[in-house]
Amino acid sequence: MTRIPRWADVALIPAINLVLAFFVSGLVVISIGEDPVEAMAIMLRGSIGSAYGWGYTLYYATNFIFTGLAVAVAFHARLFNIGGEGQAALGGVGVALVCLNWPWTSWPLALAAAIAGGALFGAAWAAIPAWLQARRGSHIVITTIMFNFIASALLVYLLVNVMKVPGSMSPETARFPAGAHLPSGAEMLGWFGIAFPKSAPVNFAFVVALAASVLVWLLIWRTRLGYEIRAFGHSEPAAVYAGISPVRIIMVTMLISGALAGLMAINSVMGEAERLVLDSVQGAGFVGIAVALMGRSHPLGVFLASILFGMLYQGGAELEFEMPSVSREMIVIIQALVILFTGALDNMIRMPTERIFLWLRKERS
Amino acid sequence: MSETSEEGRQETAAPAIELRGISKAFGPVQANRDIHLRVERGTIHGIVGENGAGKSTLMSILYGFYRADAGEILIDGKPTAITDSQAAIRAGIGMVFQHFKLVENFTVLENVVLGAEEGALLRPSLAKARKLLAELADEYEMAVDPDAIVETLSVGHQQRVEILKALYRKAEILILDEPTGVLTPAEADHLFRILRSLRDEGKTIILITHKLREIMDVTDAVSVMRRGEIVATRKTAETSPEELAELMVGRKVLLRVEKGTALPGRRVLEVEDLRVAADNGVDAVRGISMSLRAGEIVGIAGVAGNGQSELLEALAGIRPARGTVRLDGKALPLEGRGANGRARRHIGVGHVPEDRQRRGLIMDFLAWENMIFGYHRDRAWKRWPGLMDNPRIRAHTLEAMERFDVRPRDPSLQARNFSGGNQQKIVLAREIDRNPEVLLVGQPTRGVDIGAIEFIHQRLIQLRDEGKAILLVSVELEEIMSLSDRILVMFDGRIMGERDPAATDERELGLLMAGVTHEEVAP
């Protein structure tokens, strides 16, 4: 039998991790002489206490859903894709090229083309490390992390030398045409007659992220490819026995993973900035790893963890604003603690919890 | 087990090693059961037994890798707690593993000193080791260039480095685990010369092997292990390979299998001069030719590690091979794209792999996911638009579980939650249901309970009677004898001979398995 009930696995352990992370964060806040309860209240109010807060929280969450799904898909094949950052950056280039090079008049068409562009560029950026892993055995963790640096250098080159508006001082592309404008949160809710702050950055990409979550769930648990990906991830010798080609699975999985990371640009580049700027990813590629770990590589878990990290990002910004003694770095520490406890230190809580459940079971029988 | 009176005269001197009542269980598997063993000082003591008889577990306990559940270890008559390998080294025990534990890009000298450095500076230890190595080289014919990088040495020399390592640590007792498995005959002879001179110097040597000839050649005494117990200890001079083979295999009554005579039909599978490399790149199958007819079971007997696994995997398409394999007269691709598990299944070659937990099943997958493993791309399981028809697969699994009596009958249980026998039934159901022309079966009853063994044997016979060709690889001689219509004995990558199960006995097969040819056995 499995060692712990499923509800404990998906809900209890992440909850304990989270409480611990906030407890330690609280100690950090106390150490600078502020009230941790008050800080917590500000974060909650700032992130989900208003429609405006939700608008930002969901915007950040959308980024994390895409990068989290990217990491989760690769995890199922036991591949650790650290390269979400670079793949998302390249996805931005793809989206920008699509948006800038055609005179779009209808946003659904522009969106479809931008999805193709972002996915293609993200996948292409993942393809090289994937090939090196599949054919040459170069470890994918090393290569994807290297490709993050190459991507950031490439982006600087492209924005400074190739895609910049002539005569402009800032390394960014021209604004996308109005026909490529994605409906904002306010516009979408306006269709249903609901009022929503216009300045909140959440946009139609959130819906795309939800659709991507459902599609990833279908892929992993309902298709033959997903079956093969999971089989390979569990046991390579068994996969070979079944006639599943490791090379093919590594390539296909990493292409899908890279494409998902690239799709993040739909939200940040097309939906929000409406132009490609330097550093449009802002660490979301790395947060995706934490999100996938915390969500146990399940799309629903990734979704929930993304909302949580969206809250942390937005609530953290509010906290920084309202408590001047809390610096930007302090917020990063709190976010890092959550990542540390939910991602890296998962086993610290898991093992004692399993032991408690075993002991309870023994007591009962 | 038997401190017989004839050993009484030696009881004055304390034995180098004495084990009293050693037992060790891994979960439900009793790997060692109440082991009593005396190894006299200055002797070479052989331990023989089939794979899984518990030899390695026993030696791991002696070397501190495992703690025994019960019993005590006496070294030179003193009870000694061997908690880890450091304690074993302190007690004067050295071990030469089957797979060497050397740092390949270090020199011989560095390897010898590694872990036994005296002080923070290397130089004094290296100088000391260099001197000792020179002495040992003279004394025991163990010349090795101390400055050679280990990976450039031959296997035989690497093994010598292992022995030197143990001697540098002042080992008085040397344990060698299947030391000749990787050696050429000449290297093996040299090793035995070294062992004899070590013994003459008063060292005690335990030699673990399954090759009876080595036991007869080099040991002074021998203990036979079977199913976790020591079934006999003999003086080598007072025993014979025949007796040891009999003890090793056991005289237990065959599990009677209801079986009519075979009616072999056409040749389905033909193999010519097949050569297959093992994972280390060395040929494990070295030129095998054989054929398999419809409606017969051909059993391949042999001690594990003599190329049977590689043969099976090559025929199943999951290990590249050279030579010719024809199925119904058509040559099969043995390398490259066409050689994969799926392609073989497609043309009617089913495969029950030797290691069901590593290959045959995904232990974390549910029973129904495992029931189509390898056949998951079949049209029958597909639903628009390319999704898997999970409800249908579950229904099929439930039905197959009933026919093959898999318990518990729950398609949504993880494979790891079934017993070994029921896991094997899942694999068997999956492979037999596809109605293959050829079924490759490896170790069908390893780790399987008695009840399931009977069931699995009946299904194989039934499949034979339906006119299918079955190739059975097993290290269980009883199983080979009771199921096969023809027996091929493999040793060292070759077929030593073919026997009719009705006209042979375990003794003869046991000798063939140990590499002794018929002529040598004949009286």
Interfacial B residues in 11-50 facing A (CB < 8 Å): none
Considering CB atoms only, which of A228, A237, A243 is closest to B340? A243
Q: Are strands B221-226 and B229-235 parallel, antiparallel or unpaired?
A: antiparallel
pLDDT computed for residue A62 by the predictor: 97
Q: Would an 8 Å CB–CB cutoff place B353 in contact with chain A?
A: yes
Chain A nearest-CA distance from B512, in A, is 31
**Mean pLDDT, range B221-228, rounded to an integer:** 90
Which of B315, B352, B362 best tests the A interface by mutation, with the highest count of A CBs <10 A? B362
Angle between helices B185-200 and B155-168 (to 10 degrees): 20
φ, ψ for residue A35, nearest 5 deg? -90, 115
pLDDT value of residue B394: 95
Are A234 and B363 within 8 A, CB to CB?
yes
d(CA B423, CA B13): 51
pLDDT at residue A284, as a whole number: 93
pLDDT at B11 over 60: no
B340 touching A, CB under 8 A?
yes
Q: How far apart are CA B125 and CA B146, in angstroms?
A: 13
Q: What average pLDDT does range B430-436 have in this prediction?
A: 92
Q: CA nearest A218 in B: which residue?
A: B387
- Phi first, then psi, for residue B206 (nearest 5°) are -110, 125
CA dihedral B450, B454, B457, B463 (to 10 degrees): -140
Please state, rounded to an integer, the average pLDDT across all residues of chain A: 91
Q: Does residue B244 have a pLDDT over 90? A: no
Put simply, the answer to whether B376 touches A227 (Cβ < 8 Å) is yes
Least confident of B348-352, B451-455, B460-464: B451-455
Q: Which residue of B has its CA nearest to A2?
A: B417
- Token reading at A66: 């895409």
* Mutation site, A1, A220, A221, A241, interface B, largest B CB count within 10 A: A241
Measure the CA–CA gap between B460 and A274, rounded to whole angstroms.
68
* pLDDT, chain B, mean: 86
Model pTM score: 0.75
CA Rg, chain B, in Å? 25
d(CA B481, CA B504): 9
pLDDT band at B418 (very low <50, low <70, confident <90, very high): confident
Mean pLDDT for the stretch of residues A92-120: 95
Q: How far apart are the first and last CA of chain B?
A: 32
Relative to beta strand B387-388, strand B438-442 is unpaired
Architecture of domain A35-324: Orthogonal Bundle (1.10)
Residue position matching structure tokens 């909850």: A15
Residue B1 DSSP SS3: coil
Q: What is the pLDDT of residue B98?
A: 77
Helix (H, G, I), strand (E, B) or coil at B258: coil
Q: Which residues of A fall within a CB distance of 8 Å from B416? A: none
Query: Residues B331-345: what's their mean pLDDT?
Result: 90
pLDDT, average across residues B279-301: 93
Question: Are the beta carbons of B195 and B218 closer than 8 angstroms?
Answer: yes
The pLDDT assigned to B345 comes to 92
Q: Which residues contact B495 (CB under 8 A, 6 or more apart)?
A: B288, B289, B290, B488, B489
Beta strand B44-49 with B204-209 is parallel
Give the residue from chain A lying closest to B416, CA to CA.
A1
pLDDT, tens digit (0-9, with 9 covering 90-100), for A243-284: 999 999 999 999 999 999 999 999 999 999 999 999 889 889
Q: Do B369 and A243 touch (CB under 8 A)?
A: no
Determine which of B349, B351, B354, B359 to mutate to test the interface with A (most A C-beta atoms within 10 Å).
Answer: B359
CB pairs under 8 A between A and B: 68
Is B93 in a helix, a strand, or coil? Answer: strand
What is the torsional sign of CA B352, B356, B359, B360? positive
What pLDDT does A1 receive? 39
pLDDT for B1 beyond 80:
no
- Would you call B345 and A243 a contact, using CB atoms and an 8 Å cutoff? yes
Provide residues of A within 8 Å CB-CB of chain B: 1-2, 218, 222-224, 227-228, 230-231, 234-235, 237-238, 240-245
Looking at residue B5, its pLDDT comes to 43
Q: Which amino acid is at A249?
A: I
Q: Cβ A243–B365 below 8 Å, yes or no?
A: no
Q: Is pLDDT of B467 > 50?
A: yes
pLDDT at B51 over 70: no
Provide the percentage of residues in chain B whose pLDDT is more than 90: 49
Test A222 with B388 for CB contact under 8 angstroms: yes
Q: So what's the pLDDT on residue B133? A: 87
Residue B364 to chain A, least CA–CA distance (Å) = 7
| 3-class DSSP string for chain A | CCCCCHHHHHHHHHHHHHHHHHHHHHHHHHHCCCCHHHHHHHHHHHHHCCHHHHHHHHHHHHHHHHHHHHHHHHHHCCCCCCCHHHHHHHHHHHHHHHHHHCCCCCHHHHHHHHHHHHHHHHHHHHHHHHHHHHHHCCCHHHHHHHHHHHHHHHHHHHHHHHCCCCCCCCCECCCCCHHHCCCEHHHHHHHCCCCCCCCCCCECHHHHHHHHHHHHHHHHHHEHHHHHHHHHHHCHHHHHHCCCCHHHHHHHHHHHHHHHHHCHHHHHHHHHHCCCECCCCCCHHHHHHHHHHHCCCCHHHHHHHHHHHHHHHHHHHHHHHHCCCCCHHHHHHHHHHHHHHHHHCHHHHHHHHHHHHHHHHHHHC
Mean pLDDT of A2-30: 82
Give percent of chain A above pLDDT 70.
99
Is residue B185 pLDDT above 80, yes or no? Answer: no
Range with lowest mean pLDDT among A167-176, A204-213, B204-213, B450-459: B450-459
What's chain A's length in residues?
365
For the segment B345-362, the average pLDDT, to the nearest whole number, is: 92
Task: Give yes or no for residue B74 having a pLDDT over 50.
Answer: yes
Domain boundaries, chain A: 35-324
CA-CA distance, B278 to A270, in Å (whole number)?
Answer: 54
- Write down the pLDDT at residue A3: 59
pLDDT at B2 over 50: no
Q: What was the ipTM of the complex prediction?
A: 0.85
Which residue in chain B has the smallest CA separation from A224?
B388
Q: By C-alpha distance, which of A66, A65, A61 is closest to A259?
A: A66
As a whole number, mean pLDDT of residues B405-419 equals 87
Could you give the percent of chain A with pLDDT greater than 90? 64
Residue of A151 and B157 predicted with greater confidence: A151
All residues of chain A having their beta carbon less than 8 Å from the beta carbon of residue B340 are: 240, 243, 245
CB proximity list for B125: less than 8 A, separation 6 or greater = B113, B116, B117, B118, B119
How sure is the predictor about A331, in pLDDT bands with cuts at 50, 70 and 90?
confident
DSSP B418-479: S-HHHHHHHHHHHHHHT--SEEEEESTTTT--HHHHHHHHHHHHHHHHTT-EEEEE-S-HHH
Residue B263 pLDDT greater than 90, yes or no: no
pLDDT score for B521: 44
User: Cβ contacts (< 8 Å) between A238 and chain B: which residues?
Assistant: 358-362, 373
Query: Using a CB-CB distance cutoff of 8 angstroms, which residues of chain A are in contact with residue B362?
Result: 230-231, 234-235, 238
